[in-house]
Amino acid sequence: MVDGITLIFSGLICIFLQRTEWHKNYIEEHNFTDSEEIWVFIRNVMGVCLIFIGVLICIITLIN
């Protein structure tokens, strides 16, 4: 159960970290704007996958 919750929180961090103000400032300061468009998509996909796997682990743990 703890593993599933950890994966869910990791997925939420992957999705919402890129929306924080200090992350946006860091990207603009270091001129990563070109590659950032690709990384945003990859982070969103990873976040959704982590959340999905975490929910599955929680459900399987509750059933057993």
Task: Yes or no: say if 2 and 58 are a contact pair by the CB < 8 Å rule.
Answer: no
- How do residues 20-53 score in pLDDT, each as one tens digit? 787 778 777 877 767 777 888 898 999 999 999 9
**Domain boundaries in the chain?**
2-63
pTM, 2 dp: 0.80
Q: What is the Cα–Cα distance from 5 to 48, expressed in whole angstroms?
A: 14
Q: How far apart are CA 50 and CA 55, in angstroms?
A: 9
